[in-house]
């Protein structure tokens, strides 16, 4: 029986060229933000706890300014528009699985008609400081305190029915990459896939991702719809 492709596509550093949380903190964060970001990257602190603490350093009144900054600063990786259309036309299920926050993920992706396919964290600006909310926390199989738990979403897709492909760039995609059937990777995630011998292909643009998917369909006879 042929399987249906489902894509779990990361946002920061994958769809956008840079990490938006890091960009926001560099621009608006106090000096204490930098060591806190290092703690998250070196896994001394869970992503949920660290990201929550980072945004708690910023006044809610900055919201509009941050959104304007991100709209100017964030660059979408070439070929993304074509990639979204390719998936639609080929009947490939595309999900955006992001550790980012709704108030910058949705504006950047506006115009791609992906609204009901986005999984990311939430935000609350009603208090003096920004509060991050966590509508997609870890399920019973994950104890990493991810915040937005990619593996929990991936596990929701039965591997008997689905060919599960992770697209990502970083350490936050690694747990998902380990349980996926295939990985399309750049940067640190590519390096980790090599080290661990995970089935993967590297990409630089979404034109590359389209080619990889086209070849995969031919070689594995994965059903499209």
Q: What are the residues binding Zn ion (CB under 5 A)? A: 138, 142, 144, 146, 149
How far is it, in rounded angstroms, from Cα 51 to Cα 121? 10
Measured from each CB, the residue nearest to Mg ion is: 13
How far is it, in rounded angstroms, from Cα 31 to Cα 13? 23
How far is it, in rounded angstroms, from Cα 196 to Cα 32? 34
CA–CA–CA angle 18, 82, 112 (5° rounding): 70
Q: Which of residues 152-171 bind Mg ion (CB under 5 A)?
A: 169-170
CA–CA–CA angle 115, 119, 122 (5° rounding): 95
Nearer to Mg ion, 164 or 186 (CB): 186
Q: How far is the CB of 20 from Zn ion (least distance, A)?
A: 20
* 13 near Mg ion, rule: CB under 5 A: yes
Residues 6+ apart with CB under 8 A from 171: 41, 43, 188, 189, 192
Q: Which of residues 185-214 bind Mg ion (CB under 5 A)?
A: none
Binding window for Mg ion (CB under 5 A); candidates: 11-19, 38-46, 52-60, 191-199: 11-19
Choose the contact partner of 13 out of Mg ion, Zn ion, none; CB within 5 to 8 A by kind: Mg ion
Instruction: Tell me 77's DSSP state.
Output: P
* 12 near Mg ion, rule: CB under 5 A: yes
Q: How far is the CB of 61 from Zn ion (least distance, A)?
A: 32
Catalog residues that contact Mg ion under the rule CB under 5 A: 10, 12-13, 169-170
């Amino acid at each position: 029986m042929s399987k249906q492709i489902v894509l779990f596509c990361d946002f920061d550093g994958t769809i956008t060229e840079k990490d938006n949380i890091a960009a926001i903190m560099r621009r608006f964060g106090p000096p204490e933000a930098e060591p806190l970001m290092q703690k998250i990257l070196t896994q001394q602190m869970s992503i949920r706890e660290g990201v929550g603490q980072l945004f708690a350093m910023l006044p809610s009144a900055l919201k509009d300014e941050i959104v304007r900054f991100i709209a100017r600063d964030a660059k979408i990786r070439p070929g993304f528009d074509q990639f979204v259309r390719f998936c639609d036309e080929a009947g490939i299920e595309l999900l955006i699985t992001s550790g980012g926050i709704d108030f910058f993920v949705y504006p950047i992706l506006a115009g791609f008609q992906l609204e009901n396919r986005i999984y990311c964290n939430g935000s609350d600006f009603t208090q003096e400081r920004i509060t991050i909310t966590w509508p997609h926390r870890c399920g019973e199989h994950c104890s990493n305190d991810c915040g937005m738990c990619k593996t929990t979403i991936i596990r929701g897709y039965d591997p008997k029915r689905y060919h599960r492909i992770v697209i990502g760039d970083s350490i936050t995609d690694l747990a998902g990459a380990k349980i996926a059937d295939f990985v399309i990777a750049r940067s640190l995630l590519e390096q980790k896939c090599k080290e661990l011998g995970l089935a993967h292909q590297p990409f630089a643009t979404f034109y590359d991702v389209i080619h990889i998917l086209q070849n995969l369909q031919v070689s594995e006879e994965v059903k499209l719809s």
